[in-house]
Amino acid sequence: MHKYSPEKIGRLLRPARVREIRPLAVLKDAGLKKGDSIADVGSGPGFFSFPASRIVGKEGAVYAIDTQKEMIEGLKKQSPPPNVVPVLSGENSIPLDGSTVDFALVAYVLHETESKAKFLKEIRRIMKPGARLLVIDWKKKKEGHGPPREERLSIKTVEGFLRKAGFVSVKASPLNDSHYRVQALKPSR
């Protein structure tokens, strides 16, 4: 299973990538709002964490979570605002209390995880009842960039993993030519 190399950290923050993905708009469209707490799981150097901090404001919190120390260091080098909290974690063990966040983001990470079931159950654990989950990943097709086709997950596969992990209201939609998004909720009870 390939993991994104920290040696390519600069590629994650390219202006062209911001224009292609539009992280601020994506997060707002998914329902992130002022005062929310969000877990950006697999945050890297903060591609989504920084826009999220603008949305949630001083009243909110952004937990920028990554398993790679180099990614957390890359985030810290950008002088994040006080509402962005860098968190080094294990893949299936996030050092946050249960029911901590209103929103969880898993962007371009699910295809890299060893045990999708354990990983999604850990995400669900840190989410409050009724919290939103947004998964963004690569469409299962061959392209000249991104992970190899065989490592990509189809939308149906992701929807199945989410339902098995106990998420409800699972809805998928295209994000752009290369990526899709799947939204879901942690049940209120």
Question: What per-residue confidence (pLDDT) applies to 19?
Answer: 87
The β-bridge partners of 63 are 39, 85
The structure's pTM equals 0.94
pLDDT tens track for 75-116? 999 999 999 999 999 999 999 999 999 999 999 999 999 999
Q: Where are the domains of the chain?
A: 6-185
User: Which is it for strands 127-138 and 179-185: parallel, antiparallel or unpaired?
Assistant: antiparallel
Tell me which CATH homologous superfamily contains domain 6-185: Vaccinia Virus protein VP39 (3.40.50.150)
Write out pLDDT tens, residues 46-68: 999 999 999 999 999 999 999 99
Residue (of 59, 62, 53, 60) closest to 24 by Cα position: 53
